[in-house]
Every structure is written in C-alpha cells, then in structure tokens.
C-alpha cells in the first residue's frame, strides 16, 4: 500500500518543518493532559483560523498510542467508509504510522468499512490534524477513516462496530481513542452561526447521536463532520461514555475580522 504525502501543506498550514512545529507547539501551550477521553472532536480549517481551538482542546487530554481518525468527505471520491489500511502518513514533521492491525480489525468488522485510498488522496480534514497529533503524542499511530454515510441506521451500525474493535483492543491492553474532525456551521454571519452552533453542540454535549444528526439536518446547520461525529458518538456511548465538555469555541471572524461570513470551530472531549 502506498504512503500518503501531504496534499494541503503550504495552504492550510505551513510546509516549513521548523515553522510548523513552532506554530503547533505555540497553540498547544502547556499541555496538562489531565483527561483521558473516549472521543475528541477538533476543527480542520487553516491554522490561522482554528489552531487555537485545536491546541486548547488537545492540551487538556491524554491520548493513547493509537487512534481512529474520522473525518468528512469534501471531494465525493471514494467509498462511504473509506479506510487507509496501512503504510505511513507523511507531514512536514515526518511520518506517522498507520496502525495496520487495528485497521484490519476495523475492515473485518462487516459494517461497511472498505480499504480505499481515493477518498483520502486530496482530503484535508484529517491531514491538518496530523501535525498536532505528532507534537502532542509522539509516536502516535492512526487509522484514517473518511465517513460519508447518509443514514442514522448505517452510522449506528458502523459506530457499534468500531466500539467492538476498541473494546477488543482494550481487553488486550491496547487503548484506543476516537478523534473526529469537523468544523461547525459555515458562512452565515457571526450571530446566526453561533446560534446554529449552539443548537448542534447541545445534543453532542448531551451524548445524543440521534438528536445531533436530526438537529443538523432539520435546522440546516452546515456542520461538515456531522456524519463522523454521529458515528463516533454512537461508538463512545457503546463504550460507556457518560460526560462531554466543550473545551474551546471560536469563529473565523477572530482572524478574518469579518463577522458577516464566518465558520464556527468547536473542540469537544467525551469521557
């Protein structure tokens, strides 16, 4: 299986290794790592817009050495549950190993997961988080999954399958967490975006994947990662999640200075 090389370095984040490490470490600040989550959700825009939200959220948590990395499909390419099954993901900071054994367990779960590279090749939603994960948890391994399922029933089945994989890993003494990549509402004004984001975040913080999925659809909230978030929330609940917290929130207006057209960014962890 070929390795994956950066598609958006130099656009969403700098392709200069020294500058990139410095920027990420600045956003991470003093990492306390007080919380061991089942799931976290992070935004995936350019670092100038969302880096502080990503850093503040990660600074609170302790991640295991392997994570499922789930994000939305912006290109329409690939399969509904596209898994990058092995090899390495490269960033300007070096390589991150794909956890091939965990990926194989996922692919054998019979819930629609397929080995597929097309969905990942030009997709930015997972790539932009990898440098943060590299700096936060050196040696971390990932199972990248692009999610574009469209029904609640399919997302529930896939989430429960991932939970089964994680439970088996945990029983063998290997801990695994879920990292979801999602921005919040897109391109309304600041006031309306914040209103919509509060509506979307409420069921997420109440640990209700059904209401999250329903609210985003019925309220016309353009949360691009609602499908991976719903899937992961089903998995987290299956694994016994009992608490969720909003770690950080902001909008693109802080960087752009334009409150008339913004994107929302939220960092959430679930234990």
The pLDDT of residue 31 is: 74
Residue 1 has pLDDT above 70, yes or no: no
The pLDDT of residue 150 is: 86
Please, which pLDDT band fits residue 30 given cuts at 50, 70 and 90?
Answer: confident
Q: How far apart are CA 56 and CA 131, in angstroms?
A: 15
Q: Which of 151, 69, 133, 152 is nearest to 95 (CA)?
A: 133
Q: Is residue 245 packed enough to be buried (19+ CB in 10 Å), middle (13-18) or exposed (0-12)?
A: middle
Residues 140-187 pLDDT 10s = 999 999 999 989 999 999 999 999 999 999 999 999 999 999 999 999
For the residues 227-254, what does the mean pLDDT come to? 98
The pLDDT of residue 211 is: 98
The pLDDT of residue 34 is: 86
Residue 108 has pLDDT above 80, yes or no: yes
For the residues 194-207, what does the mean pLDDT come to? 98
227 and 148 Cβ atoms separated by less than 8 Å: yes
Q: How far apart are CA 164 and CA 137, in angstroms?
A: 24
Residues 201-214 pLDDT 10s = 999 999 999 999 99
Q: How far apart are CA 269 and CA 40, in angstroms?
A: 4
The pLDDT of residue 2 is: 85
For the residues 65-91, what does the mean pLDDT come to? 97
Q: In this structure, how many other beta carbons lie within 10 angstroms of the beta carbon of residue 186?
A: 17
Q: Which of 159, 203, 189, 198 is nearest to 252 (CA)?
A: 189
């Amino acid at each position: 299986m070929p390795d994956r090389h950066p598609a958006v370095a130099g656009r969403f984040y700098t392709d200069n290794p020294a500058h990139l490490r410095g920027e990420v470490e600045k956003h991470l600040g003093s990492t306390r790592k007080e919380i061991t989550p089942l799931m976290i959700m992070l935004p995936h825009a350019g670092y100038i817009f969302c880096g502080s939200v990503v850093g503040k959220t990660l600074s609170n948590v302790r991640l295991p050495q392997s994570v499922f990395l789930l994000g939305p499909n912006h290109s329409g390419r690939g399969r509904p549950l596209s898994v990058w099954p092995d090899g390495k993901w490269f960033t300007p900071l070096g390589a991150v190993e794909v956890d091939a054994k965990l990926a194989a367990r996922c692919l054998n779960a019979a819930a629609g997961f397929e080995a597929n590279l097309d969905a990942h090749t030009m997709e930015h939603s997972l790539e932009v988080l990898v440098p943060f994960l590299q700096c936060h948890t050196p040696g971390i391994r990932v199972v990248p999954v692009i999610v574009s399922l469209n029904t609640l029933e399919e997302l529930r089945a896939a989430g429960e399958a991932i939970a089964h994989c994680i439970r088996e890993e945990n029983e063998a003494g290997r801990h695994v967490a879920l990292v979801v990549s999602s921005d919040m509402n897109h391109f309304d004004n600041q006031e309306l975006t914040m209103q919509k984001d509060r509506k979307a975040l409420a069921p997420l913080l109440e640990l209700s994947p059904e209401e999250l999925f329903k609210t985003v659809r019925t309220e016309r909230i353009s949360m691009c990662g609602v499908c991976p978030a719903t899937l992961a929330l089903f998995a987290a609940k299956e694994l016994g999640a009992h608490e969720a917290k909003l770690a950080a929130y902001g909008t693109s207006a802080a960087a752009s200075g334009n409150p008339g057209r913004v994107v929302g960014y939220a960092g959430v962890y679930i234990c």
